[in-house]
Amino acid sequence: MNILKTTWLAAMLMLFTSLAQAADLTIEITRGSDRATPIAIVPFADGDDMPQDIAQIVSDDLERSGYFEPLERRAMFERPASSDEVRYGDWRALDVRYLVAGRISREGDEYRIQYELMDVSGESRMIAESVTAGRQGLRDAAHYISDQIFEEITDIRGAFSTRIAYVTSSGVGDETQYALHVADADGRNSQQILSSDEPIMSPAWSPDGGKLAYVSFETERPAIYIQDLASGRRVRATSFEGLNSAPTWSPDGRRLAMALSKDGQPEIYVMDIGSRDVQRVTNNSSIDTEPAWSPDGRSLLFTSDRSGGPQIYRLDLGSGEEERLTFTGNYNARARFAPDGEAIFLIHRGNNGYQVARQDLESGRLVALSDAGQAESPSVAPNGTMVIFATQQGGNGVLGGVSADGRASFRLPAAQGDVREPAWSPFLN
Amino acid sequence: MQLKPHARILAIALSLAFVAGCSSTGGGQDGDLTGSAGGADRDGVTTDSADGRGVSGERAGQRADADGRIPETRTIYFEYDSDAIRSEFESVLTAHARFLQNNPNASVVLQGHTDERGTREYNLALGERRAGAVERYLNVQGVSPSQVEVVSYGEERPAARGQNEDAYAQNRRVVFAY
């Protein structure tokens, strides 16, 4: 009964808040990769005024990845709309490796986008495809095109059609308002899915992309909730005495790892979502928190201060064996696996403050990726090419992104207030 | 130190009056006071987030008399990366311990906080450790564990904004919320 009432209220809150247009985040590229491949994305010939600049969205996507360096439009002295119109020599002279051209026609309420990808040096066509979308689906269509181009050239699946969840806060002291949002991976199309005058923390995507688990203090105690994104329905998964924190989904979507302190100090537990049974998997007198599943679901990373300061450990769920992974510096926390399981991304404190770092598991070598600052909450793109994280800019919390090799970076500031705790969705298509 | 019998009766009466005021403004439907352990039965969503704010219970009934008064100082501060009680705050803790012993119907939530440096979920655990250190101190002084609850907010509810040591120092704290 209580859950039902809670759900209904949540739905009402969502209706209320969706009326107020949430401010989107806006991408700012802060550093391009020096190894980026030059590409030209020619503005698509569209005839009419288009509600979205498809070629610009594709260009921004590819640039943000750090893999590509799009040619500026003002440097394009010809604008082919199809491969027939391309004079390859002209583009070679601009040192462009790849070229994208396209045209858009309108058929009733639908837009038909025909685009082609060309290899400039080979003078060959790599992709020719037609995509149809309604007005509301144009940005999705653009991200789809980015995914196709990215995969064709890099052999890595594109992650531009994914989403991010994040937490915002505005106001100070007792007047602070907290909210949980979901937006496209480029920060646009943001939707507020929960608001509260108590803290919201630790959003985590289910592996099918349909649900978020998170921590909310709305009862003035931390509790873990699971919310269905399509319906807005939610349930309270745990509200034990003490900490209920840091939920993360197992790769099969059937279990949640979390940190609870119901038995004393914070320990890692695994909950079977179906039965709600909770099993304790760590046991010592220090803090154990921030669990993260390995891609194969057989082990968990977690942060523990059993050695004095926080360090990353790996727990084999089958054998129960624990192994310390980080030895560089005296503060390493909140690790997440790369999708291939061969590296971890974490927060490392060194001479430059708190930075996102990558540690190769075989060599044990740790490399800082983000700029000096106060990075938190790294979350890895499902294709492993980028990490999104929270940082500070001008005294406000903003989201930052950095390529997995550290060469390219971007920021996603909000118009106002603080943004933090980004969580990158799995592949959604 | 024990109160004289008549003062003690007064203190209990005042604290009961305080508790009554607390529960009526705190919005509890069943007269339950400041949240028993877990608090899981309270209505989930903060309905006041959309249509106006509820009055929070901790602001109510702060004025009482003589020894029935909740100690004035309700926040103590910590050094960086430490849960040690600083000697300058021992008298504050002793005063709260005495109040709670003299008012067995009163209860307090120890809200643990950290500064913003480091990761949020680890800081949540550190905030709990800080509040837990205060809880143990009170228990050693004879306060019943049933009167004390720990809730950590980590770095989620800063008292001061800013990336400087002054703000950090104000944020590393435990608040007594009656």
DSSP letters, A70-113, are: EPPGGG-S---SSGGG--HHHHHHTT-SEEEEEEEEEETTEEEE
- pLDDT for residue B9 is more than 70: no
Residue B122 tokens read as 């680890």
Which residue, A118, A104, A100, is CA-closest to A61?
Answer: A100
Closest Cβ–Cβ partner in A201, A287, A333 for B156: A201
- pLDDT for residue B55 is more than 80: no
Domains of chain A by start residue, with CATH:
2-22+162-424 (2.120.10.30), 33-154 (3.40.50.10070)
Shortest Cα–Cα distance, A234 to chain B (Å): 11
Q: Who wins on pLDDT, A10 or B96?
A: B96
| In-domain check, residue B59 | no
Q: What ipTM was assigned to the predicted interfaces of this complex?
A: 0.90
Closest Cβ–Cβ partner in A198, A220, A310 for B35: A220
Q: Which residues of B touch A245 (CB under 8 A)?
A: 121, 124-125
Q: What is the DSSP letter of A323?
A: E
Q: In the prediction, which pLDDT does B95 show?
A: 96
Q: In the prediction, which pLDDT does A301 show?
A: 98
- pLDDT for residue B51 is more than 80: no
Q: Which residues of B touch A221 (CB under 8 A)?
A: 35, 38-40, 151
| In-domain check, residue B55 | no
How sure is the predictor about B50, in pLDDT bands with cuts at 50, 70 and 90?
A: very low
Q: In the prediction, which pLDDT does A25 show?
A: 82
Q: In the prediction, which pLDDT does B104 show?
A: 94
Q: Which of residues 274-293 of A touch B (CB under 8 A)?
A: 287, 289-290
**In A80-106, which positions are buried (b, 16+ CB within 10 angstroms) versus exposed (e)?**
bbbbeebebeebeeeebbbbbbbbbee
pLDDT digits 0-9 by tens, A306-330: 999 999 999 999 999 999 999 999 9
What rounded mean pLDDT belongs to chain A?
Answer: 92
Domain coverage including residue B168? 5-27+64-177
Secondary structure class of B81 (helix, strand, coil): coil
Q: What is the DSSP letter of A306?
A: T
Residue A24 tokens read as 């989107």
Among chain B residues, CA nearest to A175: B53
DSSP E strand stretches across A206-352: 211-216, 223-228, 234-238, 244-249, 255-260, 267-272, 278-280, 288-293, 299-304, 311-316, 322-324, 332-337, 343-350
Q: In the prediction, which pLDDT does A85 show?
A: 96
| In-domain check, residue B53 | no
Q: In the prediction, which pLDDT does A129 show?
A: 97
Q: Which residues of chain A have pLDDT under 70?
A: 1-23, 47-48
Q: In the prediction, which pLDDT does A421 show?
A: 97
CATH code of B91's domain? 3.30.1330.60
The count of other CB atoms within 10 Å of the CB of residue A141 is 23
pLDDT digits 0-9 by tens, A132-149: 999 999 999 999 999 999
Tell me the backbone φ, ψ of residue A329, rounded to 5 degrees. 80, 175
Q: Which of residues 96-135 of A touch B (CB under 8 A)?
A: none
User: How many structural domains does chain B have?
Assistant: 1
For B110-125, the DSSP string reads EEEE--S-S-HHHHHH
Task: For helices B5-25 and B90-102, give the axis angle rounded to 10 degrees.
Answer: 90
For A332-348, the DSSP string reads EEEEEE-TTSSEEEEEE
Give percent of chain B with pLDDT exceeding 90. Answer: 59
User: Rounded distance, CA A235 to CA A230, Å?
Assistant: 14
Q: How far apart are the first and last CA of chain B?
A: 22
Q: How far is CA A382 from CA A28, A428, A429, B64, B89, in A?
A: 21, 10, 12, 58, 49
Q: How far apart are the first and last CA of chain A?
A: 35
Q: What is the DSSP letter of B56?
A: P
Residue B144 tokens read as 């019943």
Secondary structure class of B171 (helix, strand, coil): helix
Q: What is the DSSP letter of B100?
A: H
Q: In the prediction, which pLDDT does A48 show?
A: 61
Q: In the prediction, which pLDDT does A174 show?
A: 80
Residue B80 tokens read as 């960086």
Q: In the prediction, which pLDDT does A412 show?
A: 86
| In-domain check, residue B78 | yes
**β pairing state of A98-107 and A37-41:** parallel
Secondary structure class of A248 (helix, strand, coil): strand
Contact call for B41 and A2, based on CB within 8 A: yes
Closest Cβ–Cβ partner in A196, A201, A334 for B122: A334
User: Rounded distance, CA A222 to CA B108, Å?
Assistant: 17
Shortest Cα–Cα distance, B115 to chain A (Å): 12
Tell me which amino acid residue B112 is: G
Which residues on chain B place their C-beta less than 8 Å from a C-beta of chain A?
35, 37-51, 53, 56, 109, 116-122, 124-126, 128-129, 150-154, 156-157, 159, 161-163
Instruction: Give the distance, in angstroms, between the CA of residue B25 and the centroid of all CA atoms in the same chain.
Output: 17
| In-domain check, residue B118 | yes
User: Rounded distance, CA A325 to CA A302, Å?
Assistant: 10
Among chain A residues, CA nearest to B36: A241
User: Rounded distance, CA B69 to CA A50, Å?
Assistant: 68
CA angle B150, B123, A258 (to 5 degrees): 80
